[in-house]
């Protein structure tokens, strides 16, 4: 067995998920296994099943699966749709690509609206396509809220308006895997039919849980949907969840963590959590602009509060650069995915993150540029610092005379 020398201090995990798990959650999960058919579990089951609703801003049902986020994608499609159904998707980046691949594999007929991977989904284009679909052959519109590969956030309220003004009855499915507990999601108010998420990003938990908040319309569709489903079937879940239980062994340790995560988010205040993400994202973007580099998201309307994707200067490989940062400063930055592989890297600023974590990360990024010989202007870190100081929550109060 080979031994890496010990590296002092903590590893900076600055990828856009999984994200570092706070001590409070680690401690909450450090418990003996319990009987998942017993009373103590029932209390935990009821607590998380009801608590998670507040995070999605829904009064309705939220399913919790022992799976990664990809499982909740599958549950959304296979519980509501039938073989051959057309689904309208927007290729905002790699996660949208993967969801469309899944739709294809499940026997659906995805129609994809392309983008240049530098904006979110365009609500006007969705509206235009839905208006053309006079026969209502499109059964669902699927959008990724925060496209984690590009750092572009889609305006879900605009997508809802587009669907309403086209008077189209398609279901609306939204992937909020990297936006839940980072930015506002109003499952009920925006009349989303299935809101999909996962544990390891804004929720600050280890990977292993996925969520699907469902509307009455989605539950109704599940009664006639003909795609095959078993493990992810909603009917067994609904029946068992009614009393706080699950149809199979739930991930009990993660559910202890989830209860703690929900408490932590509520203690801070959901709206404060969103404001914190916006502010740290803005500091990060100011750093990138200060370095004279380009942000992958080309329209501020779509800027992500969770992740910033940075385009490398021509002739410099992003993965070689990331390795230099890891080897020298013990920090993991996100890799460029699919068509921006090697051309871009990602700075995650979501989950249990504060001013100094972000400043530590940005300092590592700037020092890495020096070591890797990546051309950049000085002053990115300084610009982020200035912004965080200007917007500090507790500035020195000068007593009025």
Q: Residues in the site for ligand PLP, rule: CB under 6 A?
A: 17, 68-70, 95, 144, 148, 175, 177-178, 198, 207
Which alpha helices (H) appear in 57-93, and where do they start and end? 69-80
Residue among 140, 146, 92 at smallest CA distance from 116? 92
Cis peptide before 18 (omega within 30 of 0): yes
183 versus 363: smaller Cβ distance to ligand PLP: 183
CB-based closest residue to ligand PLP: 69
Least separation, in Å, of the C-beta of 364 and ligand PLP?
Answer: 22
Least separation, in Å, of the C-beta of 371 and ligand PLP?
Answer: 29
Q: Which residues pair with 313 in a beta bridge?
A: none
The secondary element (H helix, E strand) that includes residue 161 is: helix 156-165
73 versus 245: smaller Cβ distance to ligand PLP: 73
Angle subtended at Cα 301 by Cα 101 and Cα 74, rounded to the nearest 5 degrees: 20
187 versus 286: smaller Cβ distance to ligand PLP: 187
Least separation, in Å, of the C-beta of 369 and ligand PLP?
Answer: 26
42 versus 332: smaller Cβ distance to ligand PLP: 332
209 versus 310: smaller Cβ distance to ligand PLP: 209
Q: How many helices (H) and strands (E) does the chain have?
A: 13, 14
Least separation, in Å, of the C-beta of 59 and ligand PLP?
Answer: 25
- DSSP annotation string for 378-391: S-HHHHHHHHHHHT
d(CA 338, CA 395): 44
* HSE-up of residue 231 (Cα within 13 Å, Cβ side): 8
d(CA 15, CA 145): 18
Residue among 328, 274, 268, 273 at smallest CA distance from 12? 328
Least separation, in Å, of the C-beta of 70 and ligand PLP?
Answer: 3
206 versus 380: smaller Cβ distance to ligand PLP: 206
Least separation, in Å, of the C-beta of 208 and ligand PLP?
Answer: 9
């Amino acid at each position: 067995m080979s031994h890496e020398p010990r590296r002092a201090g903590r590893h900076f995990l600055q990828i856009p998920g999984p994200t570092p798990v706070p001590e409070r959650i680690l401690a909450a999960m450090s418990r003996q296994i319990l009987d998942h058919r017993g009373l103590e579990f029932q209390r935990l089951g009821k607590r998380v099943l009801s608590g998670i609703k507040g995070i999605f801003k829904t009064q309705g049902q939220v399913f919790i699966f022992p799976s990664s986020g990809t499982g909740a994608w599958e549950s959304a499609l296979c519980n509501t749709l039938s073989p051959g159904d057309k689904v309208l998707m927007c290729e905002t980046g790699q996660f949208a690509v993967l969801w469309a691949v899944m739709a294809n594999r499940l026997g659906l007929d995805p129609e994809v609206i392309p983008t240049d991977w530098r904006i979110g989904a365009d609500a006007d284009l969705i509206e235009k396509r839905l208006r053309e679909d006079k026969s209502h052959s499109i059964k669902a519109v699927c959008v990724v809220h925060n496209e984690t590969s590009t750092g572009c956030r889609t305006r879900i309220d605009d997508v809802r308006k587009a669907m309403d003004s086209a008077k189209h009855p398609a279901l609306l499915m939204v992937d909020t895997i990297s936006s839940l507990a980072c930015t506002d999601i109003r499952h009920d108010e925006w009349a989303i039919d299935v809101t999909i998420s996962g544990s390891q990003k804004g929720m600050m938990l280890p990977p292993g849980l996925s969520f699907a908040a469902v509307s009455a319309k989605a539950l109704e569709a599940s009664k006639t949907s003909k795609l095959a489903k078993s493990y992810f079937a909603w009917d067994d879940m609904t029946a068992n969840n009614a009393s706080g239980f699950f149809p199979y062994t739930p991930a009990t340790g993660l559910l202890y963590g989830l209860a703690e995560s929900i408490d932590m988010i509520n203690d801070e205040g959901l709206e404060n959590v969103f404001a914190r993400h916006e502010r740290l994202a803005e500091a990060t973007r100011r750093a990138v602009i200060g370095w004279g580099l380009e942000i992958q998201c080309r329209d501020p309307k779509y800027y992500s509060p969770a992740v910033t994707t940075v385009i490398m200067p021509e002739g410099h490989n992003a993965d070689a650069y990331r390795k230099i940062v890891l080897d020298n400063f013990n920090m993991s930055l996100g890799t460029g995915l699919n068509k921006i592989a090697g051309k871009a890297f990602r700075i995650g600023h979501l989950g249990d993150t504060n001013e100094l974590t972000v400043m530590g990360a940005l300092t590592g990024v700037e020092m890495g540029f020096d070591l890797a010989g990546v051309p950049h202007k000085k002053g990115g870190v300084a610009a982020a610092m200035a912004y965080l100081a200007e917007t500090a929550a507790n500035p020195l109060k000068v007593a009025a005379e």
